[in-house]
């Protein structure tokens, strides 16, 4: 399984393309549709996953859905093995997508390198605290690919959780 990171938009949002056997999923198509499309190339797009629906994460969503006649946040496990983890806090609808086979979580704006997402843009502190507690049960070695900035690991970020609440 391959992962292509495409940094898009004024807020430098991380869009990801997860591919295997010439099929792909697009995660958080934030902006610059043509840039994303050029990275997709001739792969078959089977669906789109969105971690949350803030504009910087869905700016190119309508074009993507229209062009490839696909759906968003449906069950694409026919093609890719992943788990959807509900992680409200940054927003009420925040999700993490965990691809166990490649030991990777796509965290959107839930967890960043050395930080967590804001809770004043459609989320709340109580939900964030509960989501951070829940995510602790997953292994430290999991690679985290956030919605902005550089990757990290869950183990590294768990060390910071106590600093937030």
| Other CB atoms within 10 Å distance of the CB of residue 124 | 15
Structural domain boundaries, residue 62 = 1-74
Confidence of residue 162 (pLDDT cuts 50, 70, 90): confident
**CB contact set of 165 (below 8 Å; sequence gap of 6+):** 125, 128, 129, 132
Query: Which pLDDT belongs to residue 132?
Result: 97
Average pLDDT over residues 17-28: 98
Query: Which pLDDT belongs to residue 124?
Result: 96
Last residue of a domain, one of 57, 74, 91: 74
Please check whether residues 91 and 50 belong to one and the same domain: no
Please check whether residues 97 and 145 belong to one and the same domain: yes
Q: Is the pLDDT of residue 165 over 80?
A: no
Give the count of domains, the chain: 2
Last residue of a domain, one of 74, 104, 125: 74
Residue pLDDT, tens place only, 46-89: 999 999 999 999 999 999 999 999 999 999 999 999 999 999 99
């Amino acid at each position: 399984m391959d992962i292509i990171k495409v940094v898009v938009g004024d807020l430098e949002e991380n869009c990801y393309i997860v591919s295997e056997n010439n099929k792909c999923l697009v995660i958080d198509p934030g902006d610059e549709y043509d840039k994303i499309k050029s990275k997709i190339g001739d792969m078959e797009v089977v669906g789109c996953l969105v971690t949350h629906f803030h504009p910087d994460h869905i700016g190119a969503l309508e074009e993507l859905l229209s062009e490839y006649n696909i759906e968003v946040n449906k069950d694409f496990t026919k093609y890719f093995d992943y788990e959807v983890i509900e992680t409200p806090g940054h927003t009420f609808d925040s999700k993490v997508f965990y691809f166990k086979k490649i030991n990777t979580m796509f965290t959107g704006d839930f967890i960043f390198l050395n930080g967590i997402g804001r809770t004043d843009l459609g989320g709340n502190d109580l939900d964030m605290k509960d989501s951070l507690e829940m995510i602790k049960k997953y292994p430290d070695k999991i690679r985290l690919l956030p919605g902005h900035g550089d990757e990290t690991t869950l183990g590294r970020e768990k060390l910071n959780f106590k600093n937030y609440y």
